[in-house]
Amino acid sequence: MVAVGHGRDPRSRRAVERFAARWTAGLDRDGVHREVARTVDWPAEAASWLRPARRLTETAVDAWVIADTPAGWARMSERLRESTAWAPGRTVAFSGLDSAEIAASAAQGGLDGLVGATATGGLWFVEGSRLRRHVPKAPERAGHTLFPRDPVEIAPGAVHIPDWLDLDLQRRLVEACREWSKGPAPMRHTALPRGGQMSIQTVCLGWHWTPYRYTRTAIDQGGEPVTPFPDWLADLGRRAVADAYGDPAEATAYRPDAALINFYDESARLGMHQDKDERCGAPVVSLSIGDACTFRFGNTLDRGAPYTDVELRSGDLFVFGGPSRFAYHGVIRGTRPETGDPATGLDHGRLNLTLRETGLCSTAAVVTVP
């Protein structure tokens, strides 16, 4: 028998509803239907979490099951430790608590034994006042073995490397994007020349992009200055090119000086287009964090076939250059909600960082674009 506790955010509510339905539909080892003794919720902000803490623990149960946001659980777990007989070692949490905030709480002690699932099928747990993760090996099945997704050359010069960004780097990028989105030229829905606006939201680094040119100031946002392009992001771009092409010389020569950072919610999409406002044929480096999407990579002639649809998941790298540098591409459907890993710090939607070398500060690799 278990007790279930959750925050009042929609994601946590859905998680415990699905859990309760599946749990009570099953049988325990004695052939008896499993029970949920009680379900208790609590707000993210409260004067005291004492009442829900006592309600959650007043019935004797075998285990507690928790779904919440990191911020809400940090306060609730503190109250549970201080005022009840709650035991972390008999508590299982959902993937929403696999986060840096929980790691910080663990470092203060009192959470040893707490375990939970990651969004990718692994396990996280607190041991020795540290949050640790275990990713199980893919199981062998009769006649074949399940392997991780392999790098694929989608077209000449277009390379997809799954899971290229590790979790720590994804977190760092999410934190940086939050800061960059504040401005001085903040994230916005870009206005289109014929009216309307793009469904994605964009913030720029280094150079400001509007259809169809780059400027040093945000001409559509009152002339605000553009956030500088950081050196560490350029270094990351060179690593990406090196891993995609296996050519140290090309990677060393890569000098990205602009980034478009796009945020997609589940309704946002991006029509088939070419990246041809740069005066340079250097590769475009694309990094994905958050919910998965279907990325369509086409040909260099028009928006139609032939094209390849690629699933981009959190941590994936996509580089396109060489013969594919001016291929049409787009995100043809909205993101798939709840397919990302909240441990990245992004609890919904998709961030896409595209690094480019504009050629506007150099005469190298100048190309004529129709």
At a CB cut-off of 8 Å and minimum separation 6, what does 324 contact?
154, 155, 156, 157, 158, 297, 300
228-267: per-residue pLDDT in tens?
999 999 999 999 999 999 988 889 999 999 999 999 999 9
Q: What is the pLDDT of residue 29?
A: 53
24-56: per-residue pLDDT in tens?
877 655 567 788 999 999 988 877 788 999 999
Q: Give the mean pLDDT of 195-222.
A: 94
66-94: per-residue pLDDT in tens?
999 888 888 888 888 888 989 888 888 88
Structural domains for the chain: 2-134 (3.40.50.2300), 152-356 (2.60.120.590)
310-340: per-residue pLDDT in tens?
999 999 999 999 999 999 999 988 899 989 9
Distance CA 185, CA 349 (A): 21
Q: Residue 323 — φ and ψ, nearest 5°?
A: -65, -20
The single-letter code of the amino acid at 188 is R
Write the DSSP assignment of 187-246 as a string of letters: -BPPBPTTSSB-SSEEEEESSEEETTEEESEETTTTTEEPBPPPHHHHHHHHHHHHHHH-
Q: What is the pLDDT of residue 334?
A: 85
Q: What is the pLDDT of residue 323?
A: 92
Mean pLDDT across the chain, nearest whole number? 86
Is 70 exceeded by the pLDDT of residue 140? no
Q: Residue 216 — φ and ψ, nearest 5°?
A: -80, -20
Q: What is the pLDDT of residue 28?
A: 54
Q: Residue 298 — φ and ψ, nearest 5°?
A: -105, -150
Q: Two tokens at 145?
A: 């073995």
Whether residue 3 contacts residue 92, with contact meaning beta carbons closer than 8 Å, is answered with no
Is 50 exceeded by the pLDDT of residue 196? yes
Q: Give the mean pLDDT of 6-30.
A: 81
94-120: per-residue pLDDT in tens?
888 877 677 676 667 778 888 887 766
| Of 66, 52, 47, 60, residue with least CA distance to 105 | 66
